[in-house]
Structure 1
Amino acid sequence: MTTDERNFRSSYYEKVGCFSVEEKKSLDKLLQDDIRNLAKLKHFVYTYTVPAQQRSLLWSLIMGIMPLHKSNTEYVREQRRQVYEDLLRAVTVMRCVDLDSRSRDLVLYKMWLLENNRLLHSNIRAGAQADDNHFVEIVRTLLDIFDDEVETYWIAKEFYQYTRDLKKECGKLKELTQILLKREDIGLFYRLEKLGLFDINSKLLENWYITCFAGVICETMLVKIWDKVCGGAKKIVVFLFLELVKDIKSLIFDLSSQEELKALIETVKDKDGVIVNKAIKSWHSNNSEVEYAH
């Protein structure tokens, strides 16, 4: 069997939710070890697509939500649940949320504000409102991925912290975007530049990168990108953007403003995963070439 045929089959099996026996056995062993190996766990999410049923545990271990020592898992899980319930009870008693409403994202947001001592105090720090919006977008996406709201809350908090690193490196990521786009499609680059996407005062691309396209790409497909982010692959958001704009290139040339660009891109849900899969493939192919100093 040729390499291309193996790659095609592997890609197809992952798309329909099947994984190679070797990968599944490898992951099962990693999770069953008495002391899980953090480096190997990160390598797995960095290299492979994570099975949905094991994603929450795998992310929780990598993010430090759950302990690497297997014997301590149930104790720590119970402690996390108690903290969640205490926060939920507090915002309920304080009448900060309406538990009968369907705005579960806002409930978790209020709990997060309380935990960070910000619920009852105005925050005038520059950029605080934008940061809060980033957290809410992440929560909304995770609520559609995971069923357990306790684990969703803890994963949202830690994934948000991951995005703070992306925020710090947005300048480098935007620069890399321009370098790769000039190489791959100079005409598209000039069009996006004319729309002001790369202007120093434009926050549109930055917001997409910081939230890892939460609310833009369909959650069931976006989660494959977030697997890589959990493994430390910050630059993958650049490749997702490149594949996204190349996919709708003909429509972009009809636009006349950033507002129209934002509206267009946020309609591209990629429910069949074509854009996401191309982005992951391109990221793997270019990974060693586009490294920059951290």
Structure 2
Amino acid sequence: MTTDERNFRSSYYEKVGCYSVEEKKSLNKLLQDDVRNLSKLKHFVYSYTVPAQQRCLLWCLIMGVIPLHKSNTEFIRDQRRQTYEDLLRAVTVMRCVDSTKSKDLVMLKMWLLENNRLLHNYQAAQTDDNQFVEIVRTLLHIFEDDVEIYWIAKEFYQYTRELKKECGKLKDLTQVVLKREDNKLFLYLEKLGLFDANSKLLDNWYTTCFAGVICETVLVKVWDKVCGGARKIVMFLFLELVKDIRSLIFDLNSLEELKVLIETVKDLDGVIVHKAIKSWHSNNSEVEYVH
């Protein structure tokens, strides 16, 4: 069987929820160990397709939401739940939230309280707060347990701070790759001002890992890679996205129009995300951990 045929079969099986026996055995063994190996867990989410039913556990282990030592799991889960309930009770008693508030905004208030920022409105931090909310909104569509969602959101937000530091390099690399692959599209996006120093549009997409842009059920496959330590995958997602809507972009006249267009591309069938992951794998020769 040729490599292309194997890759096609693997891709098809993954789409219908089937995984190779070797991958399933490998993952089960990693999760069953009394002390889970963090490096191997990161390598798994970095290299393979994560089964949906085990994603929450994998992320919680990698992010430190629950301990690698299996014997300590229940105790730490209880502690996380108590902290969550204490924060929720506090913002409720302080009348910062009520029954009309959506879960994402409630969790924002809890997060602000935990970081001693609830009663202090820092204008400079508004963008970061909005990015936290976008992450929570995405996770609410992926996982079910509010306690785990809150803790994962906090940890994933910290991962995005690393991406924020890398945005300058990622934007430079984006221009280099796009110029090489589609110079006409690059020049038009440059004309719209996407790569200008004062434009934060690309920074926001990269920093939130496209939360609120791509459909959550397929975006999660990109976030798997981020959990595993992938810096550049958000860039490949952007490149595949703009190439997919290339013909529509040439009809635009402003950055605001570009923002509206891109944020309507939900990629419900996962074609763009699949291409992005494939392109990222093809262009990365070594594992890069950012945390």
Deviation at 1:78, TM superposition (A): 0.6
State how 1:14-33 maps to structure 2 within 5 Å: 14-33=14-33
Partner of 1:112: 111
- Matched residues, number: 291
Deviation at 1:38, TM superposition (A): 0.4
Alpha-carbon distance between aligned partners in 2 of 1:227 and 1:289, rounded to the nearest angstrom: 17
Partner of 2:149: 152
Secondary structure, in 3 states, of the residue corresponding to 1:169?
Answer: helix
Alpha-carbon distance between aligned partners in 2 of 1:209 and 1:290, rounded to the nearest angstrom: 19
Q: Considering only aligned residues, what root-mean-square deviation do their CA atoms show, in Å? A: 1.7
Structure 2 counterpart of 1:222, one-letter code: L
The 1:232/1:264 distance shift into structure 2, 3 A limit, reads same
Alpha-carbon distance between aligned partners in 2 of 1:181 and 1:10, rounded to the nearest angstrom: 29
Deviation at 1:289, TM superposition (A): 8.6
Partner of 2:204: 207
Deviation at 1:65, TM superposition (A): 1.0
1:257 matched to 2:250: no
Alpha-carbon distance between aligned partners in 2 of 1:188 and 1:55, rounded to the nearest angstrom: 36
Deviation at 1:288, TM superposition (A): 2.3
Off by >6 Å, runs of 4+ in structure 1: none
Q: Which moved more, 1:243-252 or 1:20-29?
A: 20-29
* TM-score, with structure 1 as normaliser: 0.96
Partner of 1:172: 169
1:75 matched to 2:75: yes
Deviation at 1:167, TM superposition (A): 0.4
Unaligned stretches of 5+ residues in structure 2: none
1:194 matched to 2:191: yes
Q: Specify which of 273, 277, 280 is matched with residue 276 of structure 1.
A: 273
* TM-score, with structure 2 as normaliser: 0.97
1:10 matched to 2:10: yes
Secondary structure, in 3 states, of the residue corresponding to 1:192?
Answer: helix
Unaligned stretches of 5+ residues in structure 1: none
Alpha-carbon distance between aligned partners in 2 of 1:281 and 1:182, rounded to the nearest angstrom: 20
Alpha-carbon distance between aligned partners in 1 of 2:107 and 2:140, rounded to the nearest angstrom: 10
Alpha-carbon distance between aligned partners in 2 of 1:70 and 1:288, rounded to the nearest angstrom: 33
Alpha-carbon distance between aligned partners in 1 of 2:287 and 2:174, rounded to the nearest angstrom: 10
Aligned identity (percent) is: 83
The 1:122/1:273 distance shift into structure 2, 3 A limit, reads same
The 1:102/1:10 distance shift into structure 2, 3 A limit, reads farther
